[in-house]
Amino acid sequence: MKVAIVMFDGVQALDVAGPLDVFAEANTMLPEHQKYKVSLVGLRAGTVTCSNGMGLSVPFGYADLDTQWDLILVAGGPQLPDDHQSTDFLTWLQNQAKGATRFGSVCNGAFVLAHAGLLDGKEVTTHWANADRLAREFPQARVQPDKIFVRDGRLFTSAGVTAGIDLCLSLVAEDWGHELAVHVAKRLVVYIQREGGQSQYSPYVGSGKEEDPVIRKVHRYVTEHITDALSIEQLAGAVAVSRRTFSRLFAKYAKVTPSVFVEQVRVDSARKLLEDTDAPLKTVAFKCGFRSATHMRTTFSRRLDVTPKQYRQRFRGEAGKESWAGNSAGKQVSFQGLGGLSAGVGA
């Protein structure tokens, strides 16, 4: 199977190395005629400088070979590759996608596909930090911001950085079965299928600078009164605006309803306590305004697709690890189906 990984200057090294290593490990178990034949393809042959300063040798420019690739993946990087959209390149990408068995992107490589018109009418994802921009600039794409990876027909798109590994493991499983994909996951010491979506990796609501001072005040008020049963009238009164004005400002700047905003602040407060303390789940729930530990669990499962206990196991800091030593809840999470291997991965 002929695979092309398309890359540009400023590419995230792991967007390239992750897929490369998945296919390389799979090749160790495949006969010669079934191996993945992976090529790095750039705008031109030469050296591509990654965002971390590492140089990668790219033997081919996209126009150098008269090859129809079976699988083509466009890698992304910290800087959106918006300055690489020459007409010739986009035409080449369109033609390759038409003839490929599968095509897709890692991280914000999705923007390159979008510029080529390959995301129109498709369900897609990208790095959580760029999902809103992708949806805004390419409204015909149906962006799923919380997915680790998404398949829509022949199109595969993934979230940021290590999510390219998740994506390629799914491709190996599709090609050669679950057992081989599990073998590759064991060798790379990663999840065969990680739990939860991108929301568990994204920053807290209050970590950025909200555009409107009213929203900033609301965030501060909710944080200070997090255990209260907060109503829209109470929030509007706290910032001295009418309910109508309050609703309009929220629709414009927060882009969620006040009740959703309050719930997100509660989830974020609980995330912080779960990361930094060994407080029992009931205590965390009470301190963050949930009706009960069960209510907090239900909210976490709906919003993050993981339970509070799973979140704590995955993200608890060193202090929490020490205080939970010897407690079964503080043990490292084992990978189901990976023979007891355990390790952590990011998005």
Task: List, by residue number, the catalytic residues.
Answer: 107
Contact 120, 141 (CB under 8 A): yes
Of residues 139, 137, 78, the one with CA closest to residue 109: 78
For 69, residues 6+ apart whose C-beta sits below 8 A from its C-beta are 2, 3, 4, 96, 99, 100
Contact 304, 267 (CB under 8 A): yes
Contact 75, 11 (CB under 8 A): yes
Instruction: Classify residue 144 by its DSSP letter.
Output: -
User: What DSSP letter does each residue of 29-98 carry, written as one string?
Assistant: TS-GGGS-EEEEEESSSEEEEPTTS-EEEE-EETTT-----SEEEE---SS--GGG--HHHHHHHHHHHH
Strand partners for 149 = 158
